[in-house]
Each structure stands twice: as structure tokens, then as C-alpha cells.
Amino acid sequence: MLDVIVQRREQEAEDILSFDFVSSKNASLPAFTPGAHIDVHLPGGIVRQYSLCHPWSESSPGQYTIAVQREPQSRGGSVAAHALQTGMALQISEPRNLFELAPAAQKHLLFAGGIGITPIVCMAQALASQGQLFELHYFCRSQERAAFQRVLKSSALSQFAHLHVGTDTAAEVAQLLSTPEAGTHVYVCGPTGFMDCVLGTAANQGWNAQNLHKEYFAAAVVELQGDQSFQVQVASTGQHYEIPVGKTVFEILDSAGVNVPVSCEQGVCGTCVTRVLQGTPDHRDQYLTDAEKAANDCFTPCCSRSRTPLLVLDL
Ligand code: FES
């Protein structure tokens, strides 16, 4: 855990605030690679993940920047984040990266929808400084809601960054992905509908799944009707636990003192992925790939359930 203070709070775009965090001990903050995120421990015991928006650099190692969009359907996180004020102290995790740039790619195609620009703008700045080949396509409802415009219009990025405002997203994405290239990697972050559009289009146009990289920041809406209770067994102790309707595997195991690391608790970050030794999970996350889900040898206990009466977990 890192102790930081809010050094800067700024209106980045309509409904979007950006914040700079610096160490409260005047120390450097740990290095990270583009696409990384941190857990931010907000007032009220709320923990949320936010991408780091500017690349770490040895010349300015003391600062992390995040941007937060105020969500009308917020579970409390974006409201608590927007209440942060300059000078406030809080704790954050060390950066983790589940959305890395592919080191061997010859070209990078970056797609951002709305607030999904946060990891993408970091990637773009890093790629530009390394002289790598890339394009950034940023889809927004309006100019007012487009964040980081100053950075995107800077001399370093302006020739690579394309803002698509109020356009026909599906048609433009189809055009941009019309020619699959083996050496080109595609990255997407944004609302679920936008991500599904980019990933679905890429799959339909024949892009290799290995070349597609995604980061969800919100859980998909899951149909809960028909949920049933089931049992999990912790392999190391042989202990069985009943998972009732309305409770997650994580919640039951956690309250019984079984340690399962979690972060987002909504199936988007991958922190809780646990090996399944027996039984068939009912996958409800957006983190595992289709192939990983089909293998059924791991699942996300923060949100996924079971298709069989028993799941034996490698815990
Ligand atoms: Fe994030 Fe489970 S805690 S996927």
C-alpha cells in the first residue's frame, strides 16, 4: 500500500475529473508500464481501479495521474472519487498491469471509447516517445466529453490521434479493422457496448485473437434469475461451503477466513482468478478469454457461479 496525497484536481472534460497523486513521504512512486492501473482506496471503504494516464518516467518518478468519470449509475466509487480534494491523503496500491502493449508488435491500433481513453492515452504517449508505429482512435459522444485533448493535440500525438465525435461507430470501426495484419495489435478500452463492437468486428474480419487486447472497466449486466445455490470445496482442507443465491464465492470464503485476493469484485480485473479442480463454472466475468472460459479450469470467485452442484477449488 502506498500513502499519497492529492496534489492536483482538475476538470478534464464534462463529468470527468483528473487527479495527480504524489507520495505523502516525498518519495518516488514505483515504475509501471503503459496500461497499468492502481487500486484507489476512497473514503467510505470503497476500492476502485483506475488506469494511470501518463507514462512513468525516470525524470518525473513522483507522480501518478488518474481520470474519473462521474457515472449516473455509480455504485458509489465515482461519486467518492469526485469528492476528493487537493491535499487529501489516501492509500493506493502499487500499479499492476493486465493490459500490456505487445512488445513484438510492428504496429499498434488503439481504440478508446469515452473514459476508456485513460489507459489508451498512456499507451499512446509511450509509443510516441519510443518512435513506434501506432494510431489512436478515440470515440466520444461530444467534444465536451473528450478528455486529454491537450495531450492528444500536442505535437507528439496529434498526427496519430483521431477523435471521432458523434459518428457511426460501427461503420468506422469496421473500416478501421477491414484489413487484418499479422504484425498489428489492437487494444480497446471503453464501455461494454463499444468494446463488444470493436472485438466483435475484429473477430468477424478475421483478426487473430492473440492480437486483440482489452480492458473492461465495468461489469456486464448479468441475468440473475435462475441462480441456484451450490457448494465449493477448498481442496487444501477438504472443507465444503454452501454458496447461496445472492452471495458470491468470494464473500462466503472470505467470511469463513479463506483468503482469496480480490480487487474489482466485478469480474473485470483478474485478481481473483482461481484454479478449478472439479466441476463446471458458470463464468460471469469479462476478464477470461473465451478459450479460457471454455477450458473451465479456472474461474473468478468474485462474480462467477457454478453449473454443477460442486466446484472443487485449488485453494
Ligand atoms: Fe477482479 Fe475478481 S476481483 S475479477
Domain range for residue 176?
Answer: 107-216
How much distance in Å is there from the Cα of 56 to the middle of ligand 1? Answer: 25
Residues 136 and 79 in one domain: no
Number of domains in the chain: 3
Is beta strand 230-234 parallel, antiparallel or unpaired with respect to 310-313?
A: parallel
- Mean of pLDDT values over 41-56: 89
Substitution candidate for ligand 1 out of 215, 251, 264, 283 with most atoms within 8 A of CB: 264
Of 251, 245, 244, the residue nearest 266 (C-alpha): 251
SS3 letters for 129-160? HCCCCEEEEEEECCHHHCCCHHHHCCCCCCCC
240 and 306 share one domain: yes
Q: Clarify whether residues 113 and 203 are in a common domain.
A: yes
Which of ligand 1's atoms lies nearest the C-alpha of 263? 3
Report the CATH number at residue 159.
3.40.50.80
Please list every protein residue whose CB sits less than 6 Å from any atom of ligand 1.
Answer: 262-265, 267-272, 285, 287, 300, 302
CATH code of the domain covering residue 74: 2.40.30.10
Is the residue at 221 inside a domain? no
Whether 100 is covered by a domain: the verdict is no
In-domain check, residue 225:
no
pLDDT confidence tier of residue 47, bands split at 50, 70 and 90:
confident
Residue 98 is assigned to a structural domain of this protein = no
What is the C-alpha separation between 153 and 128, in angstroms, rounded? 13
Looking at residue 57, what is its pLDDT?
Answer: 81
Indicate the residue among 193, 216, 239 that finishes a domain: 216
- Report pLDDT digits (tens) over 217-265: 665 556 667 789 999 999 999 999 999 998 999 999 999 999 998 877 8
User: Do residues 86 and 116 share a domain?
Assistant: no
Q: From ligand 1's centre to the CA of 250, what distance in Å? A: 10
Same domain, 255 and 289: yes
Taking only the tens place, the pLDDT of each residue in 196-214 is 999 999 999 999 999 999 9
Q: Are residues 235 and 305 in the same domain?
A: yes
DSSP string, 180-236: --TTEEEEEES-HHHHHHHHHHHHHTT--GGGEEEE--SPPP---TT---EEEEETT
pLDDT digits (tens, 9 = 90+) for 94-127: 998 888 999 999 999 999 999 999 999 999 999 9
Q: Is the residue at 222 inside a domain?
A: no
Residue 306 and residue 283 share a domain: yes
Task: Clarify whether residues 85 and 153 are in a common domain.
Answer: no
224 within some domain = no
